[in-house]
Amino acid sequence: MRILLVEDDPELGKGLQQSLAQSAYAVDVARSGAEARAACDATRYEMLILDLGLPDVDGLALLRELRSRGITAPVLILTARGELDDRIAGLDAGADDYLAKPFALGELEARVRALSRRGSESAPTQLTLGKLEFDTATRRAQVEGNDLELTARELAVLEALLRRPRSLTSKEQLFETLYTWDSAANVSAVEVYVSRLRKKLEPAGVVIRMFRGLGYRLEAHDIRGTA
């Protein structure tokens, strides 16, 4: 999942970005309303985390503007304004949830997970292919009830491929799932995670087929099947 964090405090923004990255979220950070607008113009985000105290615009005004431009991604407000009237104003402006500062990181991550599920209610939370089962809510991949030991980025690649079972997913699409636009990584890093994931999926009878120049697709084979 790709998230835009709009937070003008550099230290807090970096800390939240790194923490959420450990849970397989790709988080871009904008430090002003202008940067947030530019980011939304360039990238389709699946969630926004918005601080209201921005240096160039009131966060609620920015939220109303983004909604008027057709941005429908779930929005979680982070702010020091914790009074009831402030929460009501935020929800009325188009926010989906509201978290007052200071907050526990665990609660933030739980709210992100909840909004993620709410934002994709029409999509199944249990994705299956062959003997492979992946629960998007708990982030667990299993083969016949046994957990697969996957890293956060391997899980992100797996989910991206499982959500497009009959379509090709390009290397660039996987890269956007894994990395933010200020990352030093390059698109070739995707090949490393695909290679590692391919080996771990062998017990499930699932292979990752590569179509040169086009992308990747998951397919269910018998255990002896090859890509």
| Residue 222: band (very low, low, confident or very high) from pLDDT cuts 50, 70, 90 | low
Q: Worst-scoring range by mean pLDDT, 25-34, 56-65, 141-150?
A: 141-150
Which residue type, as a one-letter code, is found at position 149? Answer: E
Q: Using an 8 Å Cβ cutoff, are 25 and 112 in contact?
A: yes
Is a pLDDT exceeding 50 seen at residue 223? no
Is a pLDDT exceeding 70 seen at residue 124? no
| Residue 40: band (very low, low, confident or very high) from pLDDT cuts 50, 70, 90 | very high
Using the Cα atoms of residue 169, residue 170, residue 171 and residue 177 in order, give the sign of their dihedral.
negative
Please tell me the predicted confidence (pLDDT) of residue 226: 42
| Residue 225: band (very low, low, confident or very high) from pLDDT cuts 50, 70, 90 | very low
Residue 49 CA, chain-centre distance (Å), reads: 12
Percent pLDDT > 90 in the chain is: 37
Tell me if residue 212 falls in helix, strand or coil. coil
Instruction: Share the mean pLDDT of the chain.
Output: 86
Please tell me the predicted confidence (pLDDT) of residue 119: 55
| Residue 123: band (very low, low, confident or very high) from pLDDT cuts 50, 70, 90 | low
CA nearest to 157, candidates 143, 169, 140:
169
Please tell me the predicted confidence (pLDDT) of residue 215: 92
pLDDT in tens, 130-176: 889 988 777 889 988 889 999 888 988 998 898 887 789 998 888 88
Show the tokens assigned to 211.
Answer: 């179509």
Domains and CATH numbers, the chain: 2-119 (3.40.50.2300), 126-220 (1.10.10.10)
62-66: long-range contacts, CB 8 A cutoff, minimum separation 24: 62/6, 62/33, 62/36, 62/37, 63/90, 63/93, 63/94, 63/95, 64/93, 64/94, 65/37, 66/36, 66/37, 66/40, 66/94
Q: What is the mean pLDDT of residues 49-54?
A: 93
Residue with tokens 């709009």: 6
pLDDT in tens, 84-115: 888 888 888 999 999 988 889 999 999 998 88
